[in-house]
Structure 1
Amino acid sequence: MPTKTEQRKLLRQHIRQLRQQLSPAVQQQAATALATQVLALPQLATCQHIALYLANDGELDTLPLIQALWQLGKTLYLPVLHPFAAGYLVFVQYQQHTRLYPNNFGIAEPLPECHRLAPVKQLDMIFTPLVAFDAAGNRLGMGGGFYDRTLAQLPTDSHCQLIGLAHACQQVDDLPCESWDIPLQQIITPEQVLKF
């Protein structure tokens, strides 16, 4: 019987292969459908400061959503590897003219300039990438723990909504969870909005 760590590793490999096999046409349709799902969220009207991510490794593409949120006048932020605290993220304002640079993992991110940073507790909504999820709102990330460590800083009474974005093929029956995993309040796929 594989250990929980081994189970999580195997699951990551399997789901990453599934989403990497999605054709560009399917990815494009999924990105457009995702934007439609998010724009229909009733709570979006009261959210101004929104963090999301740029797709990598077959993740659900957020560019159509980003464009739509900019058109609504929302202030957007991208996750950036913390320059001083290893294993953590900071959120940096992202505008149409913001220059991006590859980080240590080859993921594009803006420079962590102080005047563009938003403390995690000031964000109204954080859209997270994920590798796999289950029907209880549990999220399996890439294994670095960056989001779990960063989101653990939120106070228990935080107004910030944690929402995962994923393709439907990333859903599994039951995730082998660890004590440090931060569950999500919602997961949105191109087909549905799951609330927990």
Structure 2
Amino acid sequence: MPALRAPGYVAGYWAVDGELPLHAVQLRLAPGQVWCLPRVQDDSTLRFAPWRAGDPLVPNRYGIPEPELEPAATLAAGDLAVVLLPLLGFDARGHRLGMGGGYYDRTLAPLRDAPAPLRIGVGFACQELPEFAAEAWDVGLDGVLTEHGWRAFGR
């Protein structure tokens, strides 16, 4: 999909608790793409830090590794071209169930109607659930990537 190969910042995540790891994605970025990892902020939002294998990491308050950078060196969600989101489940309308902390929803809510970043859920096809009600604060997915390929939801 060309939109996933466009130059810019691509945010992934450090997989924990059965989330699909993204190491292979990081190694196959297109020219001009920069891999980023999220950093949890004091206000329970996320900022994103460019990261390459071997760069220093420190555990956050949940024990998840984050790039060791000064806050001024991090990026806002609006600076990203693509954000790959972990999920526990998704439905056919592009609703996403995460771990329940709301970090991605709080971070992406101000950009709900913006063309970027492209919001892509990453998981297994077996994580598709019957349709479920989204809460007012939930931010939907533009698509999902599973072992069966790409599935678009649109906004």
User: Is 1:62 aligned with 2:14?
Assistant: no
Q: Normalised by the size of structure 2, how large is the TM-score?
A: 0.90
* 1:116 alignment partner AA: A
Q: Tell whether the 8 Å contact from 2:6 to 2:33 is kept in structure 1 after alignment.
A: no
- Aligned residue number for residue 9 of structure 2: 49
Query: Greater helix percent: which structure?
Result: 1
Q: Distance in 2 between matches of 1:147 and 1:190?
A: 23
Distance in 1, matches of 2:140 and 2:9, equals 21
Is the CA contact (8 Å cut-off) linking 1:134 and 1:174 kept in structure 2? Answer: yes
What is the aligned counterpart of 1:111 among 68, 73, 83?
68
Offset of 1:77 from its aligned partner? 0.9
| Displacement over 4 Å in runs of 4+ | none
- CA positional deviation for 1:133: 0.2
Q: What is the alpha-carbon distance in structure 1 between the residues aligned to residue 66 and residue 58 of structure 2?
A: 5
Letter of the 1:188 counterpart = L
Q: 8 Å contact 2:39–2:48 — kept in the other structure?
A: yes
Matching of residue 91 in structure 1 with residue 48 in structure 2:
yes
Separation in structure 2 between the aligned mates of residue 132 and residue 118 of structure 1, nearest angstrom: 27
Q: Larger strand proportion, structure 1 or 2?
A: 2
Q: Which ranges of structure 1 fall in alignment gaps of 5 or more residues?
A: 1-40
Indicate which of 19, 22, 36 corresponds to 1:77: 36
Structure of greater Rg: 1
Q: How does 1:107-146 map to 2 (within 5 A)?
A: 107-146=64-103
Structure 2 Cα separation of the partners of residues 118 and 57 of structure 1 = 25
C-alpha distance in 2 between matches for 1:46 and 1:63:
19
Tell me the residue number matched to 1:17: none
Q: Mind listing any 5+ residue stretches in structure 2 that lack a counterpart?
A: none
Could you give the per-residue CA deviations for residues 76-96 of structure 1, whole angstroms, max 9, x where no partner exists? 1111111x32x1111111122
SS at match of 1:97: coil
**Percentage identity across aligned positions?**
36
